[in-house]
Structure 1
Amino acid sequence: MFPLHFDVGGRTVEVSVTTLLNAGYAGRSQEDVAAHVAELAELGVPAPTRTPCLYPVAPYLAMQADVVPVQHGRTSGEAEWALVITEDDVLLTVACDHTDRELEVHGVAWSKQAGPDVLGRKAWRLADVEDHLDEIALTAWAGGEKIQDGTLADLLTPHYWLEELRARGLAQPGTVLISGTIPMTPDVDQFATTWRVDLTDPRTDDTITCTYAVEVMPEPVA
């Protein structure tokens, strides 16, 4: 298992991920949640029985990658933030949950296991931004076209999820939680060969970015 490394105010923080969790249907507004359910329904994904959802995935899927290999052309990312619990702190960074949309129609949990959670290489201390979290912007581009644009006010808060983690005994060093996403712009092609997600603090103009290329692997020899 490869550790993640974050630049936190010029200091490198290393984290070995032991637990990786993907939140789903985690909009603070139920209208936004319904819109996301409708987006997925267009792709044949059945609606969940409850919201929000929480999907455990293999810890090795948390990575800081420049290239994401995929098996076919129907995969895509999602703009998200991530909580990273360290030995002595809680960090906030950007993330992109890369998902196999063909597999998603058979099971959301399966599809999340089939692709990585790509995290940024920089992070903020949660304590340093918690007084204005709702102002922080979350934006994604697929193939250079803006596909998602919102703020952290659109999603359940980091503190909501920290309480959930504490209740489940998971608020431990090495736990990473990915936030769930915001609605996509209608009629935008999400099946792109490049993805970029930005987390921007308007008070400091500081931006945390994750960006990567998507490469389809050769056909299997079988």
Structure 2
Amino acid sequence: MPLQFAVQSLTGDAATVSVDVRRLYNFGYAGRDAASIQEHIDELVELGLPAPGSVPALFPLPPRLATTDGVISVTGTDSYGEVEYAMIRADDGQWYVTVASDHSDFEIEKLSTSKSKTVYPDVVAGTVWPLAEVREGWDDLVLTNRRTDADGTEVVQQSPVATLLPPEALLSVLEERTGGEIPVGTIVLSGTVAGLPATGAPSWEVSLEDPIRGRSITLSYAVDQLLAELVGAAARAS
């Protein structure tokens, strides 16, 4: 089923766009500072995560993993959200931008980054901006990630998008590696900013703020933490 997005435009006109998702890609290690990227990779390797095969890393995912749902289901407490900007080429042929969370599982990431990205959805906000409207002043946009648990709400990631490669750079890499024009129905996540959020929170909120134009897009979603297994009475008693 196509995803529907509300377009928040500077013209003030109310509109919606539809996206029949045919391609979904996640970038990783897509920062502008090569030294900082390598430092981050080294830190993750020390934590047991594999190093990427190339920088920036680029992962093709099943299109069904793109969702605007407000609740996702996970197994156990090892998952966490990561804030990213998302670019969407809608069915009208135009590019739009919004905020997203690449929800991941830390323990599976230790085995394979690419496999970990196919376990849980890419949660995408239901509101978008025309990409052309934010090209000017792009570096002033700010990404924020908040996790909420029983102890309260905490900002775990916050950074200007200036720390990440800009849209034209990411799309150029995508075209080069796929060998052709990016088709309608494509969603591209940018890779995340600095910070490794603690796992296990039942609620996440990510936002993309445009301070120049005084607007923002916020995505909140809940995590339904499933038990690993429902055991019988004999097993519970042992």
TM-score if structure 1 supplies the norm length?
0.93
Q: Deviations over 1:144-191 (max 9, x none)?
A: 200001011010111112222333225110011100001116xx6343
Asked whether the 8 Å contact 2:109–2:116 carries over to 1, the reply is: yes
Quote the Cα distance in structure 2 between the aligned partners of 1:111 and 1:190: 14
How far does residue 211 in structure 1 lie from its aligned partner after superposition?
1.1
Q: Which has the larger radius of gyration?
A: 2
CA distance in 2, matches of 1:140, 1:60: 24
- The number of equivalent residue pairs is 219
Is the contact between residue 76 and residue 228 of structure 2 (CA under 8 Å) also seen in structure 1? Answer: no
> Contact (CA 8 Å) 1:17, 1:59: kept in 2 or not?
yes
Q: Which runs of 5+ in 2 are unaligned?
A: 9-13, 232-238
Q: 1:193 aligns to what?
A: 202
Residue from 214, 221, 225 that aligns with 1:216:
225
Q: What does residue 3 of structure 2 align with?
A: 4
Matched, 1:178 2:189: yes
Once the two structures are TM-superposed, the CA of residue 35 in structure 1 deviates from its matched residue by: 4.2
Match for 1:101 among 97, 106, 124? 106
* Separation in structure 2 between the aligned mates of residue 80 and residue 5 of structure 1, nearest angstrom: 19
Structure 1, unmatched stretches of 5+, are none
Q: What SS class does the counterpart of residue 183 from structure 2 fall into?
A: coil
Q: Classify 1:79/1:38 alpha carbon distance in 2 versus 1 (closer, same or farther; 3 Å).
A: farther
Runs of 4+ in 1 over 4 A off after TM superposition: none
TM-score by structure 2 length? 0.87
Matched-pair contact (CA < 8 Å) for 2:77–2:199:
no
Q: Aligned partners of 2:28, 2:166: CA distance in 1, in Å?
A: 13
The 8 Å contact of residues 142 and 191 in structure 1, kept in 2 or not, is answered as: no
**RMSD over aligned Cα atoms:** 1.7
| Structure 1 residue 40: Cα displacement | 2.7
Pick one of 18, 25, 30 that aligns with 1:14. 18
- Partner of 2:111, secondary structure, is coil
**What's the CA shift for 1:43?**
3.5
Q: How does 1:1-222 map to 2 (within 5 A)?
A: 2-9=1-8, 10-86=14-90, 87-143=92-148, 144-167=153-176, 168=178, 169-184=180-195, 189-221=198-230
Distance 2:39 2:187 in 1: 26
